[in-house]
Amino acid sequence: MPQTNRPLRKLGFLTIGLFDPADPGQGHRATLELIELGERLGFDSAWVRHRHLQYGISSPVAVLAAASQRTSRIELGTAVIPLGWENPLRLAEDLATVDLLSGGRLNPGVSVGPPIHYDQVKAALYPDSAAAEDFGHERVRRLLDFVRGEPVTGFRGTEEYSDLVQPQAPGLIRRLWYGAGSLRSARWAGEHGMNLLTSSVVKAEQAEEPREFAEIQLAHIRAFRAAHPDGDRARVSQGLVVIPTDSATPAQRAKYEEYARRRSARTTAPQGPARLMFAPDLVGSSAQLAEALSAHAAFREVEEVAFALPFTFEPEDYVQILTDTATRLGPALGWQPAG
């Protein structure tokens, strides 16, 4: 098996936290149980996606607050919170609170851009200021300032007030991540000292760019590190869909292969006006997956991954996938379970 340039140091997983609208509580509890399983299996991190007006986690900070009280070691991340839906000051308060409750295990990932389907939701989200809202990188910079402890106000009242966001969570600023799909955003994240989350979607922004997903993602990683104060040591986490089948039943294997087959057409060329490139889903034995990842140009540049769980599988499927990932695929990539 070919050796990667960087040994895999941290292994995580990412879930959307899908639930049945007829019983949303059970779906949220299932996500918490999955995070508990991840800790028992030795995963370094568990990440939750963020979905609004869909049947997935809409309040990842609240979910991770609950997870922080059911676990003791595993790091807890968001991948990612779209800041177009958030007030950076209020979010900074929530993130610091959960980070303190978790004992310094929170890894918030954020992104910018207009909320999806903005024309349909703006009247509810920003009824008085929809036309004036700025959804660019300035929104992230404000969040960074608040978490870092920059003064918010010079106000002093008759009661005791702070001019900083409270509570302050030492070390949280070093665990803020940016979800970048473009070269510009990757550079911006590096220039501002953030960590980089790169997923299974990137933008092929120019016709002369390489058409292979892995080469585009590699260019983003290198641009990020070139701009980052930590240079080559700057943290990058990769989030491909990777499904080991070692202990899967024949029915599970068939389902996983069909899932990847249905999504494969979008991986062959840039999609839509944004020229989005999607990574192929990887399905196979741990030996096959380790071989494929070792040949992946961007994977060879990272030391951390958070493999994304498919959205629509059953709880028993996730248990099998996570168990095989921790006990077979991770070790095949040189990783050792934590704790």
Q: What is the pLDDT of residue 113?
A: 95
Q: What is the pLDDT of residue 7?
A: 82
Q: What does the pLDDT read at residue 208?
A: 55
pLDDT classification of 289: cutoffs 50, 70, 90: very high
| Residue 147 belongs to a domain | yes
Share of the chain above pLDDT 70, in %: 97
Helix or strand or coil: residue 177?
strand
pLDDT value of residue 210: 58
Residue 1 lies in a domain: no
Q: What is the pLDDT of residue 211?
A: 73
The total domain count for the chain is 1
- pLDDT (tens digit per residue) in 22-45: 999 999 999 999 999 999 999 999
**Strands, E assignment, the chain:** 10-15, 45-48, 75-82, 106-111, 177-179, 195-198, 201-203, 236-238, 242-244, 276-278, 282-284, 304-308
Q: Judge whether 204 lies within some domain.
A: yes
Q: Who wins on pLDDT, 28 or 1?
A: 28
Between helices 315-324 and 24-41, what is the axis angle to 10°? 10
Residue 239, domain CATH: 3.20.20.30
Flag whether pLDDT at 205 surpasses 80: yes
Is residue 5 assigned to a domain?
A: no
Residue 40 counted as domain residue:
yes
- Residue 250 has which token pair? 């024949």
Residue 100 belongs to what domain range? 10-332
Q: Mean per-residue pLDDT for 187-197?
A: 98
The Cα–Cα gap between 64 and 23 comes to: 20
Residue 337: both structure tokens together = 């379970």
What pLDDT, on the 0 to 100 scale, is given for residue 234? 98
pLDDT on residue 3: 42
Q: CB burial class (10 A; 0-12, 13-18, 19+) of residue 204? A: buried
In a domain, 322, yes or no: yes
Interval 301-321 mean pLDDT: 96
Residue 260 resides in a domain: yes
Per mean pLDDT, which range of 91-105, 229-243, 268-282, 294-308 is the poorest? Answer: 268-282
- In which band, very low, low, confident or very high, does the pLDDT at 73 lie, cut at 50, 70 and 90? very high
For residue 200, what are the CA distances in angstroms to 122, 213, 241?
Answer: 28, 9, 7
The answer as to whether 164 is a domain residue is yes
Q: Tell me what pLDDT residue 159 has.
A: 84
pLDDT tens for each residue of 121-166 = 999 999 999 999 999 999 999 999 999 999 998 887 778 899 999 9
Beta-bridge mates of residue 111: 82
Nearest to 195 by CA among 183, 180, 181, 184: 180
Q: Tell me the two tokens of residue 301.
A: 């540049």
